[in-house]
Structure 1
């Protein structure tokens, strides 16, 4: 993206822990507006912890999280959301007893917006995921895994995010549904210029989609580069693509 431009998200020396266990050991990462950035690494590397720390849970123990130049490291989660950062978490975490429509409304309530803005957001979500249009009165817990993932992403999009955090969007999904999810992410970036940070177990899909990528090992960033360039590195192929551990 633009050389020398102020990153939309800049993470500097970030440390976070669960009790005495340090999960993030000094993370440095940048995302420019309009980029898709992939974060890959083995299970337990700290990827999901990084996503959650951006949202304030757990709190950063050291370092900075800068969003559009503003330090959000100590902000509570609801204030982070109001800056129009949205997350589709690992495991989807939809509200199973609420209908699809009610789940989407919960996403809209995360940030202030006019009636027209909310209507436009809903229209965009239903165009991306037509299956949800057919399920609006159905309870979230009765949806298939793929439909629940569409709902989780759709709920995040209802807040009209400037930055979308996607944690394992293809986990447990059939290949056809995975392709549909990744096609929607690409469309959001190409057509809406949405900035995306994606943690993904399928390194091949993630790096092909992303402009740039980071590799995380034991709470540290060990490698970074353009998505397709990382995909061609022998050590990446050996670890994540050729019978090695999935990210």
Structure 2
């Protein structure tokens, strides 16, 4: 991997903590039929970090996110979460391990109301703290409180993205996986969603693994980042290091401050 530029003394570095990662991906290869999508990916997410994965469309970012959740299954390599090997574990069992995903394209239940969508998110842990968690996500996304009895499919794209994240939060995850949360959204909504992610991490200590095409916002937010090119991790470093790296700037950041 390419070496990144030196980290300023006022920015904490999380890469060399010596801790056991909360999420560890080692040598993962994933195929679609005979087509290899991930070519031996190595990646770590430590407790309390925001880690982002950037890359061009089609680089394999979403495939990695889905592979962590068991669909598609890794053909080679290992995925460890909280010290447990989840490589061969069924998706529904992974979801019960305090690991939640907000997938690319939102994938809410469009015919269900906002309230019903949130109930589905809470069902993973039996809905034991539903009222408390509902109040929490409505405080994070006040627009959802106004739309509780509206069908999800009738809301705007930004509101649906808020709902997708809120639904994931209803399971009280220790690790939140976010796949392209800014995709297709207006700049003001993007700013709001990234603000919520930062708040969840700083206030609640939530660990976040973020897949994003909006490299500028993602790297500005993240403690650490990885760059993926055609199924391979080609570079890693702190968010600041990658923001300042000339090759990252040329490939992903030119005109990218939106």
* Residues 1-247 of structure 1 aligned to structure 2 (within 5 Å): 1=14, 3-114=17-128, 117-243=129-255
1:113 is displaced (CA, Å) by: 4.8
1:69 is displaced (CA, Å) by: 1.0
1:120 is displaced (CA, Å) by: 2.0
TM-score where L is the length of structure 2? 0.92
1:119 is displaced (CA, Å) by: 2.1
What SS does the corresponding residue of 2:47 show, helix, strand or coil? Answer: coil
Higher RCO, Cα 8 Å, sep 6+: 2
What SS does the corresponding residue of 1:156 show, helix, strand or coil? Answer: helix
What SS does the corresponding residue of 1:51 show, helix, strand or coil? Answer: helix
Residues 119, 127 of structure 2: 8 Å contact kept? no
Q: Any gaps of 5 or more consecutive residues in structure 2?
A: 1-13
Residues 166, 198 of structure 1: 8 Å contact kept? yes
Q: Find the aligned partners of 2:17 and 2:214 in 1 and give their Cα distance.
A: 29
How big is each residue's C-alpha offset from its partner over 1:152-177, in whole Å with a ceiling of 9 and x where there is no partner? 00000000001100000001111110
How big is each residue's C-alpha offset from its partner over 1:127-180, in whole Å with a ceiling of 9 and x where there is no partner? 000000000000000101110000000000000001100000001111110000
TM-score where L is the length of structure 1? 0.96
How big is each residue's C-alpha offset from its partner over 1:104-124, in whole Å with a ceiling of 9 and x where there is no partner? 00000122452xx22222111
User: Which stretches of structure 1, 4 residues or longer, exceed 4 Å deviation after superposition?
Assistant: none
